[in-house]
């Protein structure tokens, strides 16, 4: 229940007060972790650990165009008020009774690569796209964080692998499918990518 309230509030702020209008940005925290030129290297082993999608619909309960305040009613009846800053050109398109649909997606995936196909490091990439002026407010924002670690030790008997992070820290984890340990070896690199995406769309109220 608390999660639904959180996403309604987050969705309202993103849909009506997006920090970068129709902007796209990609940034890297570690140049060493950038992929080598040429075709991407095929992973030795890959998989998805977690993947989840949640959709919440809220109703525009009230809107103050002068103060640029929008009040939303969530599926549980809770109210959230969001402020749309001056960079949002489409606020006039929003009316009482409109539906704000917020969809949140997250995933955690990994790929194992051989030395030379990747390098230890951290890369963060983000992308934000919003509706054009005159259209109903909408937006899609995504961010992915990729941490490339090195396999420091493998224990097939216990079904564990020890990963050494870019800063030298180590962590031993239990492998979900121990049979995959037969395909990897010490020195291989593991790219762990966490992705979050938030899509917001304002739909007109149903005609009575």
Which pLDDT belongs to residue 44?
A: 80
Q: Does the CA dihedral 16-64-81-76 come out positive or negative? A: negative
Which pLDDT belongs to residue 136?
A: 78
Instruction: Please state, in angstroms and rounded to a whole number, the distance separating the CA atoms of residues 141 and 148.
Output: 23
**Tokens coding 122:** 């951290």
As a whole number of Å, the end-to-end CA separation of the chain is 30
Q: Which helix (H) or strand (E) holds 12?
A: helix 2-16
Q: Where are the domains of the chain?
A: 2-199
| Partners of residue 144 on adjacent β-strands | 125, 195
pLDDT along the chain (208 residues), means of 10: 42 38 39 50 83 91 91 88 74 87 92 94 90 78 95 95 94 91 95 92 77
| Partners of residue 127 on adjacent β-strands | 24, 142
Which pLDDT belongs to residue 75?
A: 86
Q: What is the pTM of this model?
A: 0.70
Instruction: Please state, in angstroms and rounded to a whole number, the distance separating the CA atoms of residues 196 and 28.
Output: 17
């Amino acid at each position: 229940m608390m999660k639904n309230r959180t996403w309604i509030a987050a969705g309202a702020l993103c849909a009506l007060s997006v920090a970068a209008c129709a902007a796209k940005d990609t940034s890297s925290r570690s140049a060493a972790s950038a992929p080598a030129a040429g075709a991407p290297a095929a992973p030795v082993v890959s998989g998805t650990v977690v993947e989840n999608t949640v959709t919440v619909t809220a109703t525009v309960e009230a809107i103050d165009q002068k103060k640029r305040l929008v009040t939303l009613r969530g599926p549980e009846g809770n109210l959230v008020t969001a402020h749309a800053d001056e960079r949002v050109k489409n606020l006039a398109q929003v009316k009482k009774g409109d539906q704000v649909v917020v969809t949140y997606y997250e995933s955690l995936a990994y790929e194992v690569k051989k030395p030379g196909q990747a390098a230890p490091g951290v890369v963060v990439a983000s992308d934000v796209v919003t509706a054009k002026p005159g259209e109903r407010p909408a937006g899609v924002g995504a961010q992915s964080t990729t941490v490339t670690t090195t396999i420091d030790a493998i224990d097939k008997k216990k079904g564990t692998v020890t990963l050494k992070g870019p800063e030298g820290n180590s962590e031993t984890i239990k492998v979900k499918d121990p049979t995959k340990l037969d395909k990897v070896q010490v020195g291989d690199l593991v790219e762990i990518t966490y992705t979050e995406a938030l899509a917001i769309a304002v739909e007109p109220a149903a005609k009575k």
